[in-house]
Amino acid sequence: MGFAVVITDHDFATLEPEERVLRPLGIQLEVLTPSNRTAFRSALARADAVINQFVPLDAELIAAMPRCLLIVRYGVGFDGIDLAAATQAGICVANVPDYGTQEVAIHAISLMLAVHRRLLQYDSALRQGRWLRGPQVAPPIPRLKGLTLGIVGLGRIGRTVAAHADSLGLHRLTYDPYVSRSAAMDAGAVLVDFETLLRQSDFVTFHTPLTAETRHLLGESEIQRMKPSAVVINTSRGAVVDTTALARALHAGRLAGAGIDVFEQEPLRPAHPLWTAPNTILTPHVAWYSEEATQTLTRRVAEEVARVAQGEWPRALVNPEVRPTARL
């Protein structure tokens, strides 16, 4: 029996990039139908590697993978995979951490600038036949240069955001408990605690994975510490921000605006108050997207499978503690 690879789900137009990598190794891909739970579990049971996009892989499903050596995610985040269960089972878990770094960083900066410059307000008024003078928007627009950007999470994307912010003349603060003061300085940012970042920042942008410690990192009490003129940007994971508390603050005028690409529930439910929040731009979890990023993502997922199929460790192992007991 050959090396069996299943894809739990995907939304790509083609699997040609993956097949180009895996076909020379004699590996074929089987795309599953998650809605058929019995067939889904049966396929997982015979899989040597599992490629996953959106379907949550909980402890029960992971326990149903007796042959599996690797779970690899289409993307950076891996909060949909029970990492502890996978590690206990001896399964390597990998992601693709660097396929869309530039795209996400530019999307975050774009949201920040669009909200800051009140572009939606001007555009909407113009389409309604109203020719607004500059000062007729609310809140008023301060000069960008000299304002402060707070970057929560100084990984690849956070550092790239910091570099773009430098060219805009923004002061940069960062909060990241896993980064040293010198590393923050190398990225052009000042390392501070979270409360200081919230109090001093004119913009707060989130670039952190979703973990138990980052879930609702920005909630009601944290928002109360922010300037009423501040803007929130989130292109990381939806549940890092309590979006109900965020919407409440925006409607009450306790924040100046927001740019949100990720949500606690996707798609965003129709009745969510963010839809009507003032000076708020919403995008449908597309910060990662460019054609080149898509090609890189799908190719690198397949390359991780190819490494494991040939007895090598994955390049982007997110549970290194599995090494002593890995099935690999």
Asked whether the beta carbons of 1 and 282 are under 8 A apart, the reply is: no
| Residue 116 annotated to the active site | no
User: Can you spell out the DSSP letters for 115-176?
Assistant: HHTTHHHHHHHHHTT----GGGSSS----STT-EEEEE--SHHHHHHHHHHHHTT-EEEEE-
Distances, alpha carbon 224 to alpha carbons 171, 196, 251, in Å: 22, 13, 14
In angstroms, the CA 199 to CA 27 distance is 54
In angstroms, the CA 219 to CA 182 distance is 29
| Residue 285 annotated to the active site | yes
Residue 257: phi, psi to the nearest 5?
Answer: 170, 175
Identify the pLDDT of residue 139: 87
Identify the pLDDT of residue 1: 63
Task: Provide the angle, in degrees to the nearest 10, between the axes of the packed helices 156-167 and 101-116.
Answer: 50
Who's near 67: CB < 8 A, 6+ residues apart? 4, 45, 46, 47, 48
Q: Which of 41, 156, 285, 299 is catalytic?
A: 285
Q: Which of 116, 118, 172, 237 is catalytic?
A: 237
Q: Which of 266, 292, 312, 321 is catalytic?
A: 266
Taking only the tens of pLDDT, the chain with its 328 residues reads 689 999 999 999 999 999 999 999 999 999 999 998 899 999 999 999 999 999 999 999 999 999 999 999 999 999 999 999 999 999 999 999 999 999 999 999 999 999 999 999 999 999 999 999 999 998 899 999 999 999 999 999 999 999 999 999 999 999 999 999 999 999 999 999 999 999 999 999 999 999 999 999 999 999 999 999 999 999 999 999 999 999 999 999 999 999 999 999 999 999 999 999 999 999 999 999 999 999 999 999 999 999 999 999 999 999 999 999 999 9
Domains and CATH numbers, the chain: 5-99+291-325 (3.40.50.720), 101-282 (3.40.50.720)
